[in-house]
Structure 1
């Protein structure tokens, strides 16, 4: 059973503070904790909370471990758990750019919810690298990292509770609503790009992304053993990313991202010709092909780097009069055109490998404006003439 007292302490200079002193038995030994506060009321409140945690079995031993020092072991633990290298890189970037410069010096047990409220406000006002506002989506990611860190700290008994969980952070729904509208091409614009790259070394790559909605990492990681040309289908079974200049091969983004995507006859034919050309070129170079070789490679048959794919796409678009879009917008274009063509949203969601149909609806609801009118007309038709 814990007990304690509050007493006043004066410095030689005459300054006054109040100490909450708690004692308890642990492992047959007497333990104690002393914390200093500005006022008697604060010390009494802290004492009551400490004694209450002993009674409920939620007591956390006092520690001056800072957020910065804790983050080192936390990241190492995530790596031990087998988290993807790209995920770890994302956490490190959030820590190094946003969390640690502002709160890294603060002991974990001294962090308070208002600290995170202020952090998010400051980031939204001037948190970007150039001193401008940081997007709501980025601030949401900062909150997600902080929440994960302190959840783990609470689970391991390093803090009494996760104070970041209570902070006022932008929700992902709000962040997406405030984000710039996605850029997509019309069917005519997409056809224009595909015509402009006919015969280009990367024709098959960008045609495949455009006609399947695959993510860049999925296309870069695609192997010939994942391609069923006789059936007209691709199996998404791995994703290739690059972390600090080193390629990382991981499972796709989520369980639903592991999927089979049917491809149209024209795309199948292009891939067949591309494979024959690739095989002939590598044969001339004395490089044998294996079934697990990558589909999309350099001229020498080596795996392509993800960023080089993005750069190559940008150059091809710049060589046309088409509106400039990002490589990832080919995925948005694919989804938007399917939905506008009336394809069932569940089929579109499965094709894209989204975690849920609701995510697909939230992302692309704006491209289905006519369905509300169709629904109203359908209900009226059921009732018949009035």
Structure 2
């Protein structure tokens, strides 16, 4: 094996070097040094050979961070096209201009601090500053890429690990908006649409948009009033929720409407058993859903919120009605009650006051009873 021993600052180190032949016939040497143990050097050399044979070799000693993160993202498999496009934009517009020319192995936590500082003072063409959420996403992208570099042994340590907690972009607190009881009633009072059931399910059950659009008739038990919700990436898992008679009646009316459409359009009807679909049985496209939701808001004159905020509306209404947080957690499908409490604690401002009142009434009544013992005969 082409492993070589050398002395540096009085200590023994190891390096590897081997020659390869490019497709054009030229030759190059792949090498890396600085290993404290011979075993580590052998492992790294074997990985380098395997990477070269796959056409993926990266020579860390000459690689800039900009080159590395671009190549890393190019070969990353577990992301969608939209995310990849967004991340490429972050690399081009923010990362490369600030720290792209620094050698990967020489990247320091000071360089990461510089990147964050540059993003914070950047002014966009529209005159606005870069959003805190964008800064956080760019930081996370760099952090993930560096973790991968450590895993591939291209660098020994992740420089971000040396950053003080205060130097890292703080995640912005998510904003939750929701309708009041009056706003919900006004919305339904003005809504005229064959897919009214879609909005009924969102507000009365707290189901996510994707859960509603995936819902099939086989998932509904009309006798027990239960709806089985299939598992998705963000769910705690497959779950069943028990809903109200009103929701079941709405679903029954909608089912009859679907049967009429099926009989009317006959061979042209595509029966995929979706609850939410158009006259021909075709489900609503998620890509066009925002426009659909916006049109309904405009048609009813309702205050503009996101469709996902209907889920928050459901949570708000349940809490205001005194529903226990554990029940809310199970109904919404959160992974734990901690998630529910962290998200919606601001919706429960009166819970402590109510608890205090309960304790006062309980204990005061007990004290009064003790202060007035029954008279002895």
1:199-210 equivalent positions in 2, closer than 5 A: 200-210=193-203
Q: For residues 72 and 366 of structure 1, do their structure 2 counterparts lie closer, same or farther at Cα, with a shift above 3 Å needed?
A: same
Which runs of no fewer than 5 residues in structure 1 stay unpaired?
7-21, 35-49, 239-250
CA distance in 2, matches of 1:344, 1:376: 17
**Separation of aligned partners in 2, 1:26 and 1:184:** 61
Rg larger for = 2
Q: Between Structure 1 and Structure 2, how many residues are aligned?
A: 331
* Counterpart in the other structure of 2:7: 3
Q: State the partner residue of 1:63.
A: 61
Q: Deviations over 1:29-88 (max 9, x none)?
A: 999768xxxxxxxxxxxxxxx57x559959977433344544455446652xxx463xx6
Matched, 1:190 2:202: no
Q: 1:223 corresponds to which residue?
A: 216
Once the two structures are TM-superposed, the CA of residue 319 in structure 1 deviates from its matched residue by: 2.5
The root-mean-square deviation of aligned C-alpha atoms, in Å, is 3.6
Q: Which residue of 2 aligns with 1:171?
A: 170
**Is the contact between residue 184 and residue 325 of structure 1 (CA under 8 Å) also seen in structure 2?**
yes
Encode CA deviations 1:204-224: one digit per residue, 9 max, x unaligned. Answer: 111111212222222222233
Task: Report the Cα distance in structure 1 between the residues aligned to 2:194 and 2:315, rounded to whole angstroms.
Answer: 25
Equivalent residue number for residue 158 of structure 2: 162
For 1:330, the equivalent position in structure 2 comes to 310
Change (3 A) 1:72 1:187: same
The superposition leaves residues 261-312 of structure 1 with CA deviations (integer Å, 9 ceiling, x where unpaired) of: 322211121122212212321332224554x532212333222122422222
Partner residue of 1:211 out of 204, 210, 216: 204
Query: What is the distance in 1 between the residues matched to 2:37 and 2:126?
Result: 48
1:317 aligns with 2:276: no
TM-score (norm 2): 0.74
Identify if the C-alpha distance between structure 1 residues 32 and 69 changes in structure 2 by more than 3 Å, giving closer, same or farther: closer
Give the TM-score normalised by the residue count of structure 1. 0.72
Unmatched runs of 5 consecutive residues or more in structure 2? 20-28, 45-58, 369-377
Which residue among 3, 10, 14 is the counterpart of 1:24? 14
Rounded to whole Å, the distance in 2 between the matches of 1:129 and 1:2 is: 54
Supply the distance in 1 between the matched residues of 2:113 and 2:160 (Cα, whole angstroms): 9
Q: Aligned residue for 1:232?
A: 225
- The alpha-carbon deviation at position 107 of structure 1 amounts to 3.8
Deviation at 1:157, TM superposition (A): 0.9
Matched with 1:137 is 133
Alignment-derived partner of residue 269 in structure 1: 249
Aligned pair in 2 of structure 1 residues 375, 307: CA closer, same or farther (>3 Å)?
same
1:373 corresponding residue in structure 2: 353
The change in CA–CA distance for 1:307 and 1:33 in structure 2 (over 3 A counts) is closer
Contact 2:325/2:337, CA 8 A, preserved across alignment: yes
Change (3 A) 1:96 1:202: same
CA separation in 1, counterparts of 2:131 and 2:210? 24
Q: CA offsets, 1:176-229, max 9 Å, x none?
A: 0xx5x432111121121112224x122111111121222222222223333333
CA contact (8 A) 1:218 1:252 kept: no
Partner residue in 2 for 1:252: 233
SS of the residue corresponding to residue 93 of structure 1 reads helix
Deviation at 1:133, TM superposition (A): 2.5
For residues 213 and 264 of structure 1, what CA distance do their matches in structure 2 show?
13
Structure 1 residues 71 and 380, CA gap change in structure 2 (3 angstroms): same
2: CA distance, partners of 1:252 / 1:32 = 42
